[in-house]
Amino acid sequence: MRKKIRIMCLALILILNLIMVNAYASSTYDRDAIKSVQSILNMWGYDCGTPDGVQGKNTTEAIKQYQKDQEMTETGEVTQTLIDTMLSGIPLTTLNKRYNEAVDYWNELKDQAGISTLNYSNFTSDETNYCINNNMDIFLGVLPNNNMTGMAWISSDATVDTATALIELYSLVYAFDINVESPVKVQDLVGNILDEVSYDDEGIHFSNKSVKGSGLDIWMKYADLAE
């Protein structure tokens, strides 16, 4: 089903659970702070081993790899600069990996879901805005000089395949929210956004809505559907 919809703005804002780490703004970080850094890096695919608050070889090498990917000086140390960068969002490599994991899942079910075959994402710091599935434009907020993102906007003023658009939203929310364990488990989170839709002869209407999920704040603002 295709409808002409003007999506003025949809923003996904990542809120990382690193407040505890950020509280330690001295040159020395205790076990709790190091353990938090280890836990986050593990979720991003940087293998620190078991988070134990001890900075051994695995943690040092994981930090160095993360710093390399972010074009930072490779010290392997937990510093305020490292923490500030981690707090800015998630790595683009992690976002692409999780988005594409969701694509694999939904493409297996595309006939049942009634959607087009989804394409893989490959966002980089040089390419932050494109239309992955020839459907809706996705723009990532990427901070200068690093490969992290903490926000995404989706917009379109053209004809949109609404079924595919919903799965794109599922995939993007899953990509951002590293606390969601599998692509299918994001449906309830996204479903909360759609609770207050109304239907009439002109189409579907969304209200501005803010929904706090697990580590994710979603803000949506839709224009009315065009005829």
Q: For 19-88, which CATH class?
A: mainly alpha
Residue 1 pLDDT exceeds 50: no
224/87: higher pLDDT: 87
Tokens at 47, concatenated: 């293998």
Cβ atoms of 93 and 28 within 8 Å: the answer is no
97/154: higher pLDDT: 97
Phi and psi at 139, nearest 5°, equal -125, 125
Tokens at 185, concatenated: 């488990």
CB count within 10 Å of CB 207 equals 12
Please state, in angstroms and rounded to a whole number, the distance separating the CA atoms of residues 153 and 136.
10
Please state, in angstroms and rounded to a whole number, the distance separating the CA atoms of residues 220 and 211.
9
Give mean pLDDT, residues 70-82.
92
Looking at residue 68, its pLDDT comes to 93
Sequence ranges of the chain with CATH classification 1.10.101: 19-88
57/144: higher pLDDT: 57
Residue 23 pLDDT exceeds 60: no
Condensed to tens digits (0 to 9), the pLDDT of residues 118-153 reads: 999 999 888 888 888 888 888 888 876 678 888 888
Give the CA angle between residues 136, 138, 142 to the nearest 5°. 175
Condensed to tens digits (0 to 9), the pLDDT of residues 166-208 reads: 888 889 889 988 888 899 888 887 777 666 655 555 444 555 5
Return the minimum-mean-pLDDT range out of 42-46, 58-62, 88-92, 158-162.
158-162
Looking at residue 158, its pLDDT comes to 64
206/76: higher pLDDT: 76
Half-sphere exposure of 184 (CA within 13 A, CB side): 5
Please state, in angstroms and rounded to a whole number, the distance separating the CA atoms of residues 9 and 206.
12
Please state, in angstroms and rounded to a whole number, the distance separating the CA atoms of residues 3 and 166.
13
